[in-house]
Amino acid sequence: MNRVLSAVLLFFASLPFGNVFATQWNLAKEKDGIKIFTAKLPDQAFKAVRVECLIAARPEQLLALLLDINNNHEWVYKTKSSRRLKTISPTELIYYAQMESPWPFSNRDIIAHLKVSRQSDKVIIIDSKAKPDYIPQEEDVVRIQSSKAQWTLTSLQENMIKVEYVIQFDPGGNIPPWLINLFVSDGPMISFLKMKERVNLAEYKNAKLEI
């Protein structure tokens, strides 16, 4: 039971969704060029997570994948369902996602406001922040009240991107912080490994997006 429980709960560190800063990051896991760091922030029960990796793709490819909300379940760890709630512009939206949890814990859901902006010719920023009151909460599902995340995509050369992803979140409910913190690097690793494969599918490879 502990093995199954820990694997499922770790999804909450892989939510593809703010800007989190920490004074000291510790390398928690590394595989296939993906590095997962964690940090304990002041006055926060749950650790912040940072992911760094290189991806062989164009920035538009990765953006197309990240903005393809309805198919998040194909690669984001333990996503049960996700959908767009509002399209503000081609680079800004509000979406809903629900994540599976094992008994005795309730499923979690999140509403997030995601916005893409260009910082320079080579750097694109994607910010995401929870909007918990945007739609009514479903019965028997715990709404995530606090989540801030940021993607930084830096073009290094043709078809090569440096990706940095940082998140601070609180899954809410009765999940103890020590349990989440103990295994918090597993969910992001699984998601990023799948993302590196999926980004080169035909539906994303020729994507174009003006920012």
Residue 211, in any domain of the structure: no
Residue 87 lies in a domain: yes
Q: Which residue has the higher pLDDT, 74 or 40?
A: 74
Backbone angles phi, psi at 163, to 5 degrees: -115, 130
pTM, entire model: 0.82
* Local structure of residue 183 (DSSP, 8 states): T
Q: Indicate the average pLDDT of the chain.
A: 82
Q: Say whether 123 sits in a helix, a strand or coil.
A: strand
The answer to the question of residue 210 being in a domain is no
SS3 per-residue string spanning 128-145: EEECCCCCCCCCCEEECC
Cis peptide before 104 (omega within 30 of 0): yes
Instruction: Answer whether residue 25 is part of any domain.
Output: yes
Q: Is residue 70 part of a domain?
A: yes
CATH code, domain carrying 95: 3.30.530.20
Tell me the C-alpha distance between 138 and 97, whole Å: 12
- Does a structural domain hold residue 42? yes
Q: Which domain holds residue 144?
A: 2-205
Residue bearing the bigger pLDDT, 7 or 168: 168
Q: How many domains does the chain have?
A: 1
The 10s digit of each residue's pLDDT in 156-177 is 988 899 999 998 876 666 664 4
